[in-house]
Chain A
Amino acid sequence: METQTEVNPMASEFPALLATVLDAALIIASAVTLLAAYRVIRGPTVPDRVVALDTIGTNVVAIAILFALTTDTGLFITVGLVLAIIGFISTITVARFITEGDIIQ
């Protein structure tokens, strides 16, 4: 532990508690993403499926941020932001497609 001084000091020196918390949060976020797929498959109406897909998108954003924290890679924060943007655009598009029938007149 003491020999690794080149890496981020927080990632190398901080005891295993934060790593354990991050791993547990990653497991919970992944399980929650899988559980939301139940509502995508079983959802009685189309808006149910859109809501569930939106939730899955937000959970994947959370997984990206947790992965960035776990591996100490700041790039994955950007990945999470781009995923959030794509999820918002797809939600708006599908909600408009349900009511209007087409997207671009």
Chain B
Amino acid sequence: MTLLQTLQAVVVGVLVVTGTFFLLIGTIGLLRLPNVYNRLHATSKATTLGAASLFLAGFVYFGPRGAGLISLVGIVFLFLTAPTGAHMISRSAQKIGVPFVEGVSWPVPDDVDEQGETD
């Protein structure tokens, strides 16, 4: 086994461990945090980073052609769509009136009233 293959295997292992760690942290946050918005904060960042790290491991493993290129496309897709989906869910949660944790308020209170009236 050449040095390059050893380096490739070590990088793949480190990326897989990092991605699995982020997946674990995201799901612990999903189970333990008290509110929709806090759970969304945990899962949207941690799970996106975890899946992107695993895609990067696939790119390192499969090389720059074929499946490795698809891995890069997957990274770009995840980084574009995961914040969009999280924003859509949190906006709909705020629109149907899921309450915040007590002590947390909207930064400008007029915004909430204005949105509530237009709906």
Contact = CB atoms under 8 A, between A and B. Distances in A.
Nearest to A42: B31
Contact of B5 (A10, A50, A92): A10
Contact of A55 (B43, B62, B74): B43
Interface string A33-51: 0011011000001111011
* Interface secondary structure of B, over-half rule: helix
Nearest to A36: B27
Given A39-B31, A51-B40, A78-B70, A69 B23 contact: no
Interface in A89-105: 91-92, 95-96, 98-99
Contacts, number: 161
Interface in B32-61: 36, 39-40, 43, 47-48, 50-51, 54-55, 57-58, 61
A39 B39 contact: yes
A10 B92 contact: no
Interface of B: 1, 5-6, 8-9, 12-13, 16-17, 19-20, 23-24, 26-27, 30-31, 36, 39-40, 43, 47-48, 50-51, 54-55, 57-58, 61-62, 66-68, 70-71, 73-74, 77-78, 81-82, 84-86, 88-93, 95-96, 98
Interface of A: 9-10, 13-14, 17-18, 21-22, 24-25, 28-29, 32, 35-36, 38-39, 45-48, 50-52, 54-55, 58-59, 61-62, 65-66, 68-69, 74-75, 77-78, 80-81, 84-85, 88, 91-92, 95-96, 98-99
